[in-house]
Structure formats: C-alpha cells, structure tokens
Amino acid sequence: MDAGERDIVRALEKMGIEREMAELVAEDFNVSELKAGRDELLALGIEEHYADDILKILGIEESEVKFSDIELRVNMSSLPDKIKEELKSKLRVVRRKLSREKLDSIVDRAEREYEKARVEPREAVGIVAAQSIGEPGTQMTLRTFHYAGVGAIYITLGLPRIIEIVDARKKPSTPAMKVRLTGEYASNRHKAEMLAMGIEETHIRDVAKVESSTEDMCIRVYLNERELSRRGIEEGEVIDKIKSLDMPIQEEDGKLKIYTRNNSYHELLRLEERVANMLVHGIEGIRRAIVRKSQDGEYMVYTEGSALKKISRIEGVDFSRTTTNNIAEIADVLGIEAARNAIIDEMLNTLEEQGLDVDARHVTLIADAMTVDGEVKQIGRHGLAGEKASVLSRAAFEVTVDNLLEAAIHGETDELKGVTENVIVGQPIRLGTGAVELVAKNYSELR
Amino acid sequence: MKKGKVRGKVSILEHELVPLHEVMTEREVEELLNKYKIKKEQLPKIKSSDPVIREIKAREGDVVRITRKSRTAGKTLFYRLVTK
C-alpha cells in the first residue's frame, strides 16, 4: 500500500467507514483516475450508504439529487422537526428538477425565513397571549352545560370551562373520563358494556331499602331482587359487605337486621347512613359509565365522575390512552408534564368546540406559565399574579391595600422591571424597543 | 357478573400524556447552563414527589431533560430541575 492509498484509508476511516471497507476501496481503485460509480462500489459488497459517502469523499458527485441527499441536507439544518418533515416531502416531489446547489439554497432560504418568523427577544408574548384568548372569549357561550355528544353525559364547556382550567380548580364541576379499552374489549360491544357496568358505583341504597327502626333499635335492609339481578350482583356480595361492618346481624328471609352496640338513637341514625352509602360494587366516584363507538371504530367508555388511578387497575382498560378532564388528578397521578399537556388539550378542545381558532402557541404559553414551578398554579391572586416580584404590580392587580401594607411591613423594594410598575410610575416600559437604552454600532471593535 | 378483574400496577411512563423524562449527566447539565448563560436555579422546576420523577428515580438537584411532543415544532426539548 502506498502513501496515497494510506491517505485515502485514513480519510475514509475519519468519515466513519470501517477500516476493512476503506482498504478495499483504496486497493481496487486508483483514486487519481477513479471513474468508478455507485454500481461498481455496490458490486464490491459495500453497503449503499457507505458507497454514497465514499463517492462524496473521493469528490465524485453523482449529478442527480437522491432521496438520501434531501434527507441528509434537511436533517443538517437547524429547523424544527415538523418543518423538516414538511420541507422534505415538498422537496421529494420536485427532486428531479433539483441540483445540489438548488437544494442547498432552498434549505438555506428556509432556515432564514424560519429565523425571521421567530418571536423577537423582548416581545411581550404574555400580553399577546392574553389578548388572543380574551377576545375570542367574549364570543363564547356563557351557558354552562352542553351535550357532550355522548349519551346523556353533561360536561361543562365554553367560558365556564376555560375559567375552571385557568383557575386550577382541584375538582372540575363535571368530572368525566374517556376510558379507552384494549383488544377484545375494544372490538366487542358486549364485553365493553360488561366493563362499563363493572365500574359504575353501586351503593347498598341502590339495591336495597334501608330503614331504621326505633322500636327494636336496629337497621332493616330489604334487598331488591330485581335491582340486584339487573346489575348482576349476588345477594351474598351485599351480605358479606354488611357483615364486614362487624356489627351484630340477624338474617331473615330477604331481610337483614343490624343491631346497634349501645342502643343510642344517635348511633342508629349514623349507622343507617353508613350502611346505605356502603359501596358494593364498582369504583367510588364513577356515577355513570356509557359505552360509545369512537371515531376510530373502537368501543370506549365515557364516565361521569373521575378516578384515574383506580381505573388503571381494571382489566381491559388501556390506561395509556385513558384521560380525565380533572387536571389536578392528572398532576397527581401522571405528573406535572402530563398536567401541562392536559391543560393545552382541554383548552384547545374547549375553544375549538366553540368554533374559535386560537393559535396553540398562546395556550401553550399559559400552560407553561401555570406549571413552571412543578405544581399547577392558577392565574390569579393565589397563583401567578400573587407571586409576581413587583409590589406595585401585585397591588395593581387585586387587594391593593393588603399588598401595599404587607410590602411596607417587610420593607420590600420594587425594581421597576415589569410592565405594570413602569406604567404606574410613568416610565417607558422595558419591552420591545424600550428594552434597549443605547447601542453602539460595532461596540466590540471600538473597545 | 364479577367485578372488573384487578391487575398489577401499570407504568405511568407509557401514558400518552407523559413525555420522555431523562436524568442528565453532570456534563450535559454544564453544557446546558453555559448555552443559556444561566444558573441551575433559574431552570423550571419539577418536584421530587412528582410521580414521573419517582418512577425514574431522579434525585433532588438532578436536571431532567423532557422530550415534548409539540404541535408547532414536532419535537421540543425542555429542562426541569428536581426540587423538594
């Protein structure tokens, strides 16, 4: 092997080509007069993408732009993934008309345009987001309830729902889940119905009449056979449940008597309520469950009431695609990032349902602001606005006197960095062009 | 009918709402802080009691890299500092 060949081997190795391959290429071709094309290299048993790389290193360019060229060139750019994909698909269509130079300049241009479209530093994105959601908000229905399109389950929509999300309520006014199912449960209506019935909460009061009797100081439970069979619950289940109370019990045909321990009237009433509210079946909090076919043709269960953690343990439930409209619950069970996604999804869906088109970026910003500190914070006095660093800004928002008094007691200073406080004192705000005081051209050269 | 059969715990990491969380190495953290010229404390936070943090066993003071799905960009990276 002469010096020239060794150079080639080294150069090829640097490009990540295995030594063996590199030697093979260097031996078989005299580089200075190499006319070998792709086909010859392929014939040597070199893999396709290696062959392309080798040709490139050797300075032999195939004139035609290949799919792999588009792929490589676009991936090298600084564009976000989604735009890369779009650009690639458009370039593939016009591939035959492309030359390498054209490809380069198209991608460069795309990069430049993308940079231009980005938000400028110091742009007041928060205010833009507030306006962009506020204005369409004036067109939203104030009517709280809505047919959610699924059976008779009602879900709060419209403006009240948006307020609920932004206020980060611990529990929405109408909690609901969309439960996705796996395998057979998703394709067989009967199985899905069975699952739905199995998770609907059933209390003793739903399947029996519970009465207290002061005469002999006991609770009488009359089981309702029809209700029991309709819900597919065995009598034994109910009796076992009552027995778990660990109270003196007497069984008579179809009737149960539960005696109190210390014969007090007060205890009797408490016991009556406790027995009536005992859960015999299903998941606590799921008041109704309805089976519907989803758009993709799978059966799924819509529930009134929400219990994400418990539903995850039910056989046949595809937990990974099951969601709830209770954002606090999502934060507890799935973490802060999932809560952020849920806020975005819920808000966009609510807006879209009302026929309003708000850019996802505004909603995303709100969700980000609500979740930066690792917990879901409301946008208001008890959350974001209440935690602002500036005294004046807080005082301008709500409860002015309290804020000023509190700040005076602690001797707080206001740095006058935000918008509100500068408007209050009558200074230009430090945003946009106001963010810059003096700029010397070519400052670094002057120094 | 029998009550819905109970099965073992399902991993929350597979849920479609949960993006990928990874603990970053010291070097990666340093590069990140240098890139944005910030201190660790200036990063967004995530609680050590967060279910995902417990699942991936990250500890207080770690920085996690979160690979989010983005409607506008396809994929974006986000970083959070694990706090108490």
Greatest mean pLDDT among A58-62, A249-253, B49-53:
B49-53
Chain B interface mutation, best of A89, A319, A365, highest count of B Cβ atoms under 10 Å: A319
Quote the percentage of chain A above a pLDDT of 70: 87
Q: What is the pLDDT of residues A377-401, one digit of tens each?
A: 998 888 888 888 889 999 988 889 9
Give me the pLDDT at residue A193, please: 87
Task: For chain A, say whether B70 makes contact (Cβ under 8 Å).
Answer: yes
Task: For chain A, say whether B64 makes contact (Cβ under 8 Å).
Answer: no
- Chain A residues closer than 8 Å to B5 by CB: 314-316
Q: Which two tokens stand for residue A127?
A: 């205010």
Give me the pLDDT at residue A62, please: 55
Greatest mean pLDDT among A193-197, A202-206, A438-442:
A193-197
Contact B80 A374 (CB under 8 A): yes
Give me the pLDDT at residue B3, please: 41
Q: For residue A222, give every residue at least 6 positions away whose Cβ sits within 8 Å of its Cβ, in sequence order, or none.
A: A208, A209, A211, A254, A255
CB pairs under 8 A between A and B: 113
Chain B interface mutation, best of A185, A337, A362, highest count of B Cβ atoms under 10 Å: A337
Q: Least CB-CB distance to A374: which of B1, B46, B76?
A: B46
Contact A319 B10 (CB under 8 A): yes
Distance from CA of A119 to the nearest CA of B (A): 14
Residues belonging to chain A with any Cβ–Cβ distance to chain B shorter than 8 Å: 80-85, 194-195, 197-199, 232-233, 281-282, 312-316, 319-321, 323, 330, 332-338, 341-342, 360-361, 364, 371-375
Contact A335 B51 (CB under 8 A): yes
Contact A374 B50 (CB under 8 A): yes
Q: What is the pLDDT of residues A217-235, one digit of tens each?
A: 778 888 777 777 777 777 7
Mean pLDDT in residue range A134-157 = 73
Chain B interface mutation, best of A178, A179, A200, A320, highest count of B Cβ atoms under 10 Å: A320
Greatest mean pLDDT among A167-176, A257-266, A324-333:
A324-333
* Angle CA A402–A403–A405, to nearest 5: 65
Q: What is the pLDDT of residues A336-378, one digit of tens each?
A: 999 999 999 999 999 998 888 999 999 999 999 999 999 999 9
Confidence of residue A255 (pLDDT cuts 50, 70, 90): confident
Residue whose token pair is 């879900």: A155
Among the four given CATH numbers 1.10.3470, 1.10.1790, 1.20.1070, 2.60.40, the one describing domain A125-174+325-387: 1.10.1790
Give the residue from chain B lying closest to A337, CA to CA: B18
Give me the pLDDT at residue A433, please: 78
Give the residue from chain B lying closest to A368, CA to CA: B44
Task: For chain A, say whether B68 makes contact (Cβ under 8 Å).
Answer: yes
Give, in order, the Cα–Cα distances in Å from A115 to each of A109, A110, A362: 10, 9, 19
Q: What is the pLDDT of residues A280-305, one digit of tens each?
A: 778 888 888 888 888 888 899 989 88
In Å, how far from its chain's centre is CA A52? 41
Confidence of residue A55 (pLDDT cuts 50, 70, 90): low
Contact A334 B10 (CB under 8 A): no
pLDDT at position A213 over 60:
yes
Q: What is the pLDDT of residues A116-130, one digit of tens each?
A: 999 888 888 998 999
Q: Least CB-CB distance to B12: which of A321, A323, A333?
A: A333
d(CA B15, CA A255): 47
Confidence of residue A195 (pLDDT cuts 50, 70, 90): confident
- Quick one: CATH architecture of A388-435? Orthogonal Bundle (1.10)
pLDDT at position A4 over 70:
no
Quote the percentage of chain A above a pLDDT of 90: 26
Give me the pLDDT at residue B4, please: 43
CB atoms near residue A161 (< 10 Å) = 25
What ipTM describes this predicted complex? 0.90
Q: What are the mean pLDDT values of chain B's consecutive 10-residue runs (84 residues total)? A: 48 91 95 94 94 92 94 91 93
* A172 closest CA partner among A346, A380, A368: A346
* A275 closest CA partner among A228, A236, A235, A221: A221
Among the four given CATH numbers 3.60.21, 3.40.120, 3.30.460, 3.30.1360, the one describing domain A202-281: 3.30.1360
Q: Which two tokens stand for residue B47?
A: 């609680």
d(CA A214, CA A265): 7
Q: Where are the alpha helices (DSSP H) in A94-213?
A: 100-117, 125-137, 158-166, 183-187, 189-199, 204-207
> Contact at 8 Å (CB) between A283 and A311?
yes
Amino acid identity of residue A300, one-letter, is M
pLDDT at position A421 over 50:
yes
Q: Which two tokens stand for residue A24?
A: 């093979």
Give me the pLDDT at residue B2, please: 38
Helix/strand/coil percentages in chain B, nearest 5: 25, 30, 40
Contact A360 B71 (CB under 8 A): yes
Confidence of residue A36 (pLDDT cuts 50, 70, 90): low
d(CA A139, CA A159): 9
- Chain A residues closer than 8 Å to B8 by CB: 313
Confidence of residue A61 (pLDDT cuts 50, 70, 90): low
| Domain B12-83 falls under CATH 3.90.940.20 | yes
